[in-house]
């Protein structure tokens, strides 16, 4: 699979970005200390849109450290597309006398509960356009506010640095992994 710079008709010196990862925070009391990590990119491992709420580790006081070290972070994953659904991920004890923990999932798949599959996202939007229903569209104020967040990032990148390269079919450049490693986290594999 060719990368963007190897595509036909693309300047091999191009600085067009195909991947973005940002960390955002909301500056108020309610959301203090909750980082939002967003990432998007072209030609990553696979096409997937998800929102993952990763919970903080609870204090597992009754158990000692070796018993809970295999425990991952509990997570609530909302799968937007494809294979729409919700997954809850949590640790569970493996049956038996040994104290071993394994992460398990609780799954709801939209496609399994309804024999009818939901329409593609753009099908629905086109129908709304025809009906004149603007509920699912952002208003111009929202769009402008969104750009207020992104414009400083864009202008900084335009002046400093080049996009970090990543292999086609991978989950993005190593720099994005470093960004999360600085916070003691790592990207989950979607």
Partner 1 sequence: MNIDLTDTTSARINTALVQGRRSVGAAVGMVLTLVIVTDEGNHYDALKAASEASKEHPSRILVVIKRPGRSPRERAGARLDAEVRVGGEAGNGETVLLRLHGELSGHAYSVVLPLLLPDAPVVVWWPDEAPAHPADDLLGTLAQRRITDAAATEDPVAALVARAEVYAPGDTDLSWTRVTPWRSVLAAALDQKHTKVTAAEVEGEEYNPSTELLALWLAERLDVTVGRVVSEGPGITAVRLTTADGVICLDRPDGALATLAVPGQPDRHVALHRRSTAELIAEELRRLDPDEAYAGTVRHGLGRLNTPPGASAADVAAPPPAAEPTGTRTPAKAVAKAPATTSTKAPVPRASPTKAAGRAAKPKPKADGKNGKNGKPAA
Which of 83, 120, 142, 151 contacts partner 1 by CB under 8 A?
Answer: 83
Nearer to partner 1 (CB atom), residue 6 or residue 100: 100
Among 5-13, 67-75, 123-131, 153-161, which window interacts with partner 1 (CB under 8 A)? 67-75
170 binds partner 1 (CB under 8 A): yes
Which of 34, 80, 99, 106 contacts partner 1 by CB under 8 A?
Answer: 106
Among 20-28, 98-106, 135-143, 158-166, which window interacts with partner 1 (CB under 8 A)? 98-106
Count of residues that bind partner 1 according to CB under 8 A: 31
69 binds partner 1 (CB under 8 A): yes
70 binds partner 1 (CB under 8 A): yes
Q: CA 134 to CA 123: how far, in whole Å?
A: 14
Nearer to partner 1 (CB atom), residue 36 or residue 108: 108
Q: What is the 3-state secondary structure (H, E, C) of the chain?
A: CCCHHHCCCCCCCCCCCCEEEEEECCCCCCCCCCCEEEEEECCCCCCCEEEEEECCCCCCCCCCHHHHCCCCCCEEEEEEECCCEEEEEEEEECCCCCCCEEEEEEEEEHHHHCCCCCCCHHHHHHHHHHHCCCCCCCCHHHHHHHHHHHHHHHHHHHHCCCCCCCCCCCCCCHHHHHHHHHCCCCCCCC
Give the number of residues written for the chain.
Answer: 190
Q: Which of residues 110-149 bind partner 1 (CB under 8 A)?
A: 111-112
Minimum CB separation of residue 96 from partner 1 in Å reads 9
190 binds partner 1 (CB under 8 A): yes
Query: Is residue 24 within 8 Å of residue 45, measured between CB atoms?
Result: no
Which of 4, 21, 171, 172 contacts partner 1 by CB under 8 A?
Answer: 171
Residue 54 neighbours by CB under 8 Å, 6+ apart = 73, 74, 75, 185, 188
Q: Which of residues 32-61 bind partner 1 (CB under 8 A)?
A: 45-47
Residues that bind partner 1 (CB under 8 A): 1, 45-47, 69-70, 72, 75, 77, 82-83, 87, 89, 94, 100, 102-107, 111-112, 167-171, 188-190
């Amino acid at each position: 699979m060719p990368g963007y710079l190897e595509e036909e008709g693309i300047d091999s010196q191009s600085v067009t970005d195909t991947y973005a990862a940002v960390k955002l925070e909301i500056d108020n009391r309610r959301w203090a200390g909750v980082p939002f990590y967003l990432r998007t990119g072209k030609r990553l491992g696979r096409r997937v849109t998800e929102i993952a709420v990763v919970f903080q580790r609870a204090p597992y006081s009754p158990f000692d450290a070796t018993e809970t070290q295999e425990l991952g972070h509990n997570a609530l994953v909302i799968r937007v597309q494809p294979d729409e659904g919700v997954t809850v991920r949590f640790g569970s004890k493996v049956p038996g006398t040994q104290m071993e923990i394994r992460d398990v999932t609780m799954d709801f798949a939209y496609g399994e509960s309804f024999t009818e599959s939901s329409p593609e996202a753009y099908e629905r939007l086109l129908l709304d356009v025809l009906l004149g229903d603007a509920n699912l569209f952002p208003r111009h104020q929202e769009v402008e506010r969104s750009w207020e967040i992104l414009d400083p990032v864009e202008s900084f990148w335009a002046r400093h640095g080049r996009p970090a390269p990543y292999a086609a079919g991978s989950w993005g450049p190593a720099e994005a992994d470093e960004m999360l490693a600085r916070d003691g986290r790592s990207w989950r594999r979607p």
